[in-house]
Chains A and B, each alone.
Chain A
């Protein structure tokens, strides 16, 4: 590099490039952000589900934000199995008590945390869910036990509006 002193002209170049870069970024951002979820997509944020017809051992699948949500009314046996698992045996340690506040009801996104397929009910080595795409096994609490998925199936925000209705979202 030459060791000549910066001139007024160098300052002008630097200032022009800087303003140009900021301007370009300001124009690019709307073009990028338009791809994010729009207002109408965000507006569909909650769903209410009537679960009165569900018997113990049954699962229903409902659609929330375009994704399947599993609502399972668990049998006592399933709850006992889920609650007796040692934390050190889990890939993603989470207590069943934290995943299902009301032990009879397990509500979670029916989306495999590997690549987003819908796992099959009452299947797999842990009698919970099995993902047919790449072979992830989940237990009766929806926790990953075996296979490529990194996390347990996600428990969304939900609440019982009354004894028969669950509001998801």
Chain B
């Protein structure tokens, strides 16, 4: 993949590298030419890697103390919180780490949407990313079930019951998922197993995600192809490593704030009540990161169609590279898309808000309008916009707007008038 041949300097290094070219890989990763105009929105890849490692390490430690049994799970979590040395810290990092992971992944996804990083030739990177996102949701959901509190139990009941919407075989599928006639011990043990497995699947997919990224190289805020290596690129180490490191430190401050000052603010008090199959909590809501999809589920009055709408809302992202007909990647040069982008951001935030509210009256109406708009954005606005939109001419290189002043629209417009 590197554009130049690499030979280790030392004799031993050469001997090893001829047999297993790990040093070539390390050299590729350090020298990897990166567009020099990457902004801080590009640091979330590194932050996400940190999140994954944090979850794996803290999860591994928690698994040493946790007991996956319906009679003992709740107590074993309290045991971790009260008795295990630093158990409270490790558990709070793991629980809040899930939220931080999603915070970072949403920024990462919306960065991609703004700068068109999902477009050719990066479709495979994007699709792998969507698969990772789906696995993250599965892992987070199953992890939330493990403490066996009221929200764990009823969240598990509601989500597994989504499968009962499948015509004919739905009930059988749900019984199979449960290993019984309700969410119970067999469900808990298999969720624990899968919760342990999925992070490693994600890790494997992250390797593929980065591998696929290193073939075409990074997109950049201007969204045009760069020659690499050239004056438009800098080596990954030390330039991007330092920038990623600084952003990671900032991110860790936010992370630490939640862990130390508000460790339960993103959770639900009901989950400190042990699971009771006879009583459903008055107000069931999923974790914040699933709320937009939950709002979509509830906004459709039919059970099967509600489930279909919710799944489509996620899967539609996988075909996004083909729904967006515009060849221009960056929203900086797409004045109309830029506005629709921010409307979409607002739409998703509104969905998240109404997802946390009771599904009735005005909230339900807002959820329905926002759901309709969500699909409208992807199915109508994006395909049409790509054909109709009058875009701003692209600079010839990423250096051009830098030398000309600033890479913003005003600058681009000046260029435009010059050309006209």
Complex contacts, B303 vs chain A, CB 8 Å? 114-115, 148-150
Partner of A132, one of B284, B300, B302: B284
Partner of A63, one of B277, B359, B360: B277
Q: What separation, in Å, do the CA atoms of A132 and B280 have in the docked complex?
A: 8
The interface bits of chain A over 14-51 (1 if a CB of B lies within 8 angstroms of the residue's CB, else 0) are 00000000000000000010011110010000000000
**A117 on interface, CB distance cutoff 8 Å:** yes
Partner of A117, one of B181, B284, B302, B306: B284
**B235 on interface, CB distance cutoff 8 Å:** no
**B179 on interface, CB distance cutoff 8 Å:** yes
Complex contacts, A148 vs chain B, CB 8 Å? 298, 300-303, 306
Q: Could you tell me the distance in whole angstroms from the C-beta of B296 to the nearest C-beta in chain A?
A: 13
The interface bits of chain B over 254-292 (1 if a CB of A lies within 8 angstroms of the residue's CB, else 0) are 000000000000000000000001111111100000000
Stretch binding the partner chain, chosen from B57-65, B155-163, B209-217:
B155-163
Q: Could you tell me the distance in whole angstroms from the C-beta of A133 to the nearest C-beta in chain B?
A: 5
**B335 on interface, CB distance cutoff 8 Å:** no
Q: Residue of A at shortest CB range from B360?
A: A135
Complex contacts, A32 vs chain B, CB 8 Å? 176
Q: What separation, in Å, do the CA atoms of A67 and B158 have in the docked complex?
A: 14
Complex contacts, A55 vs chain B, CB 8 Å? none
Stretch binding the partner chain, chosen from B25-33, B93-101, B111-119, B182-190:
B182-190
Complex contacts, A68 vs chain B, CB 8 Å? 277-278
Q: Could you tell me the distance in whole angstroms from the C-beta of A99 to the nearest C-beta in chain B?
A: 19
**A66 on interface, CB distance cutoff 8 Å:** yes
Quick check: B301 and A35 within 8 Å, CB to CB?
A: no
Complex contacts, A135 vs chain B, CB 8 Å? 358-360
Q: Nearest 5 A-B pairs (CB), nearest first?
A: A66-B182, A65-B181, A116-B161, A115-B161, A117-B280
Q: Residue of B at shortest CB range from A66?
A: B182
Complex contacts, B186 vs chain A, CB 8 Å? 35, 37-38, 41
Q: Could you tell me the distance in whole angstroms from the C-beta of B276 to the nearest C-beta in chain A?
A: 9
Known A-B contacts: A67-B181, A132-B284. Give 20 more (CB < 8 A): A36-B179, A41-B186, A63-B277, A65-B181, A66-B183, A67-B277, A68-B277, A114-B161, A115-B158, A115-B303, A116-B160, A117-B154, A117-B158, A117-B284, A118-B280, A134-B359, A148-B300, A148-B303, A148-B306, A150-B304
Chosen A-B contacts, 21 in total, with CB atoms closer than 8 Å, are A35-B177, A36-B176, A37-B175, A37-B178, A41-B186, A65-B182, A68-B278, A114-B303, A115-B157, A115-B158, A115-B161, A115-B303, A116-B160, A132-B281, A133-B280, A134-B298, A135-B358, A148-B302, A148-B306, A149-B303, A150-B302
The interface bits of chain B over 70-100 (1 if a CB of A lies within 8 angstroms of the residue's CB, else 0) are 0000000000000000000000000000000
Complex contacts, A58 vs chain B, CB 8 Å? none
**A164 on interface, CB distance cutoff 8 Å:** no
Q: Residue of A at shortest CB range from B298?
A: A134
Q: What separation, in Å, do the CA atoms of A61 and B180 have in the docked complex?
A: 20
Q: What separation, in Å, do the CA atoms of A67 and B175 have in the docked complex?
A: 12
Q: What separation, in Å, do the CA atoms of A135 and B303 have in the docked complex?
A: 12
Quick check: B184 and A66 within 8 Å, CB to CB?
A: yes
Complex contacts, B176 vs chain A, CB 8 Å? 32, 35-36
Quick check: A66 and B277 within 8 Å, CB to CB?
A: yes
The interface bits of chain A over 128-169 (1 if a CB of B lies within 8 angstroms of the residue's CB, else 0) are 000111110000000000011110000000000000000000
Complex contacts, B304 vs chain A, CB 8 Å? 150
Q: How many residues of A contact B (CB 8 A)?
A: 28
Q: What separation, in Å, do the CA atoms of A136 and B301 have in the docked complex?
A: 10
Complex contacts, B177 vs chain A, CB 8 Å? 35
Complex contacts, B300 vs chain A, CB 8 Å? 148
Complex contacts, A41 vs chain B, CB 8 Å? 179-181, 184, 186
Partner of B162, one of A61, A115, A132, A150: A115
The interface bits of chain A over 115-131 (1 if a CB of B lies within 8 angstroms of the residue's CB, else 0) are 11111000000000001
Q: What separation, in Å, do the CA atoms of A114 and B281 have in the docked complex?
A: 16
Complex contacts, B154 vs chain A, CB 8 Å? 117, 133
Quick check: B284 and A133 within 8 Å, CB to CB?
A: yes
Q: Could you tell me the distance in whole angstroms from the C-beta of B303 to the nearest C-beta in chain A?
A: 5
Quick check: B179 and A116 within 8 Å, CB to CB?
A: no
Q: What separation, in Å, do the CA atoms of A114 and B36 have in the docked complex?
A: 53
The interface bits of chain B over 133-165 (1 if a CB of A lies within 8 angstroms of the residue's CB, else 0) are 000000000000000000000100110111010
Q: Residue of B at shortest CB range from A132?
A: B282
Q: What separation, in Å, do the CA atoms of A133 and B360 have in the docked complex?
A: 11
Q: What separation, in Å, do the CA atoms of A102 and B269 have in the docked complex?
A: 42
Name, among A66, A116, A148, the residue most crowded by chain B CB atoms within 10 Å (CB to CB). Answer: A116
Complex contacts, A119 vs chain B, CB 8 Å? 280
Q: Could you tell me the distance in whole angstroms from the C-beta of B284 to the nearest C-beta in chain A?
A: 5
Quick check: B179 and A37 within 8 Å, CB to CB?
A: yes
Residues A36 and B175 in contact in the complex (CB < 8 Å), given A117-B154, A118-B278, A133-B158? yes
Q: What separation, in Å, do the CA atoms of A37 and B171 have in the docked complex?
A: 13
Q: Which of B233-249 contact A (CB under 8 A)?
A: none
Q: Residue of B at shortest CB range from A34?
A: B179
Q: What separation, in Å, do the CA atoms of A132 and B279 have in the docked complex?
A: 11
Quick check: A132 and B278 within 8 Å, CB to CB?
A: no
Q: What separation, in Å, do the CA atoms of A149 and B177 have in the docked complex?
A: 21
Q: What separation, in Å, do the CA atoms of A150 and B167 have in the docked complex?
A: 12
Complex contacts, A65 vs chain B, CB 8 Å? 180-182
Q: What separation, in Å, do the CA atoms of A147 and B302 have in the docked complex?
A: 9
Complex contacts, B278 vs chain A, CB 8 Å? 61, 63, 68, 110, 118
